[in-house]
Amino acid sequence: MKALDILALGEPLMEFAETRRGDEKLYLPGFGGDVSNTAIAAARQGAKVAIFTALGDDAFGNDFLNLWGREGVDRSTVIRRKDGRTGVYFISYGEEGHVFSYARAGSAASLVTEAELPLAQIAASRVLHVSGISQAISTSCADAVFAAIRHAKANGTTVSYDTNLRLRLWPLDRARAVIHGAVALSDIARPSLDDAQQLTGLERPEDICTFYLALGCSIVVLTMGKAGTMVKTEDHLEVVPARPVKAVDATGAGDTFGGAFLADWLAHGDPFKAAAYANAAAALSTLGQGAVAPMPRREDVARFLAA
152 - beta bridge partners? none
pLDDT at 307: 84
pLDDT > 80? residue 95: no
Q: How far apart are CA 142 and CA 52, in angstroms?
A: 15
Name the 3-class secondary structure at 190. strand
pLDDT at 277: 98
Q: How far apart are CA 250 and CA 289, in angstroms?
A: 8
Mean of the per-residue pLDDT values for the chain?
A: 95
pLDDT > 90? residue 269: yes
**Are residues 127 and 157 in contact, defined by beta-carbon separation less than 8 angstroms?**
yes
**Are residues 195 and 164 in contact, defined by beta-carbon separation less than 8 angstroms?**
yes
pLDDT at 33: 95
**Are residues 15 and 60 in contact, defined by beta-carbon separation less than 8 angstroms?**
no
pLDDT at 267: 97
Specify burial of residue 224 (Cβ count, 10 A radius: 0-12, 13-18, 19+).
Answer: middle
pLDDT tens string 110-164? 999 999 999 999 999 999 999 999 999 999 999 999 999 999 999 999 999 999 9
pLDDT at 94: 73
pLDDT > 90? residue 19: no
Q: What is the CA radius of gyration of the chain?
A: 18
pLDDT at 300: 97
pLDDT at 121: 98
pLDDT tens string 176-201? 999 999 999 999 999 999 999 999 99
pLDDT at 101: 86
* C-alpha pair distances (Å), 98 with each of 195, 202, 250: 17, 26, 10
pLDDT at 213: 98
Q: In degrees rounded to 5, what are phi and psi of residue 6?
A: -140, 135
pTM of this structure: 0.95
Mean pLDDT computed over 20-32: 88
pLDDT tens string 198-244? 999 999 999 999 999 999 999 999 999 999 999 999 999 999 999 99
pLDDT at 289: 81
pLDDT at 290: 80
Choice between 97 and 252, residue whose per-residue pLDDT is larger = 252
pLDDT at 1: 83
pLDDT at 23: 83
Q: How far apart are CA 243 and CA 254, in angstroms?
A: 14
Q: How far apart are CA 217 and CA 18, in angstroms?
A: 39
